[in-house]
Each structure stands twice: as C-alpha cells, then as structure tokens.
Amino acid sequence: MKTSLLVSLPPGQLRLGLVEADGLRVAPSDPGYLNEIREEIRPLLAADWVYPDHLQKGIRSLLKAYGFHPSGRNRPASEFLVKDLQARGCFNAINNVVDINNHLSLVSHLPISILDLDLAGPNLCLRVGGESEEYVFNREGQVLSVKNLLVVARGEGDRAALGSPVKDSHATKIREETRRAFGVVYTAATITPEEELAELLKRFARLLETRAGATAATWKILDGPK
C-alpha cells in the first residue's frame, strides 16, 4: 500500500480497514453485478427486517467517543444507505466503484469512505474535525459540519478534511476520470473481529479488480492507539 494514513487521535477502540486500488475504470456497474447486489440486499427490504442493534449502537458509540452526535442528518453513512434503500425500494446504482462501496456498507453495516487518490494526495491522516470545520458533500452544495467528527484529511498542504463515517467531501468523490481510489472502513475492535474485517477487505479488493477493472488492489487493517 503506497498511501500513508497517520492516525492522530486519543487512545480508544478504533479499528480501520484500508483498501487502495490502481488502474480503475469507472463506469456503470454491469447487470450481473447489480443482480448480485440486489440478491444480497433483498433481506433489508423485508417488512420485518431490523437493523442489527449491536452494530448501530457500536458505530454510534464510536463516533460519540470523539464528541460527535450521530443522529438525524448526521447519522452514520451505513444507516443512511439502509434508509435510502428502504425509501427507494431498490439499490441506487451510481458507478461501479461507488456501487462496490455502498454494497459492502449495506451488507456489513459499517460506514465506508471512498476517495479519489489523485485528488486527495498520497499522505493522509485521521483526526477529529475542528470547531468550525466543514465541507461540501454533494453537487448541490450542501455542507456537513465535521466538528468533533472522525475525518480523513490531507496530511500536508491545506490539510483539508475529505471524508468521514457520515458523508465524504464532494472535492474528492469518485468521478469518471478516477484511476486510483482509497477506501476506509470505520469500525472498532469491540465491533468487528480482525478476521471478519479481513474477509470484508479481501472482498472489497477483489470486487475493485473484477467489477471496476483495478489492475491492483491492496488492503490492510490499522488499529488506532490504545
């Protein structure tokens, strides 16, 4: 893995899954993969489906540990995706890379960031958002305040926040020209065992290769300071 991620946080239970992919070909997902997604997420559309309590409480507690309040519009991305899926009644396909990200977030119930590495830069850090820090998260110009939120940020230059477990910055979102991407799975040692996270990351890397044309995809697990 060529990209460095410095964790600049107080001790805690944070556990990250990192994936880096080169040589991507961003395009609409092929019908076969979309069918695979639809079959796997079908249970989430059942009237009696219930969000796994330990995952919802675990991720929310992780974010609260740094002073953020993950509810309403600020709920974790994994929860937002389920709400959006249930409101639409179907998976919202965007492009192959984003579809992979959202697919795996839906089935794991873990928030995942996916950034364009050429726009983000090779030196990143994970820190807590500052008092008045914010970024635009969509093309409509809507803004997310990242005060007290875990953020992936540039480790040099403007040190701008680029992604979070809630929403990613529009500035480094995956686009048609994206060739390199960096994914961050947010969890905790008390939520996701190392072996379980490793399987998710292997699948993430494999899908980026088989469904998004990556010439290489690597992964690793990074635990925060104890």
Query: Can you give the pLDDT at residue 46?
Result: 94
What's the distance, CA 71 to chain centroid?
17
- Position 81 confidence tier, pLDDT thresholds 50, 70, 90: very high
pLDDT in the model for residue 72: 84
Look up tokens 């799975």; give the residue.
185
Q: Which domains does the chain possess? A: 4-44+52-223 (3.50.40.10)
Query: Are the beta carbons of 136 and 143 closer than 8 angstroms?
Result: yes
CB 31, CB 211: distance < 8 Å: no
Kindly tell me the sign of the dihedral angle through the C-alpha atoms of 197, 202, 203, 207: positive
Q: Which two tokens stand for residue 5?
A: 């991620």
Give the per-residue pLDDT at 50: 93
**Residue given tokens 């695979």 in the structure block:** 36
Q: Tell me, what's the pLDDT at 87?
A: 94
Alpha-carbon dihedral 97, 100, 106, 107, rounded to 10 degrees: -160
Q: Which two tokens stand for residue 118?
A: 């050429």
pLDDT at position 59 over 90: yes
Report d(CA 110, CA 187) in Å as an integer: 7
**Greatest pairwise CA separation for the chain in angstroms:** 49
- Average pLDDT estimate for 13-35: 97
**Does the pLDDT at position 96 exceed 90?**
yes
- Reading the block at residue 167, the tokens are 């929403």
Q: Measure the CA–CA gap between 80 and 71, rounded to whole angstroms.
A: 10
In the chain, the percentage of residues whose pLDDT exceeds 90 is 91
- Give per-residue pLDDT as tens, 134-179: 999 998 999 999 999 999 999 988 999 999 999 999 999 999 999 9
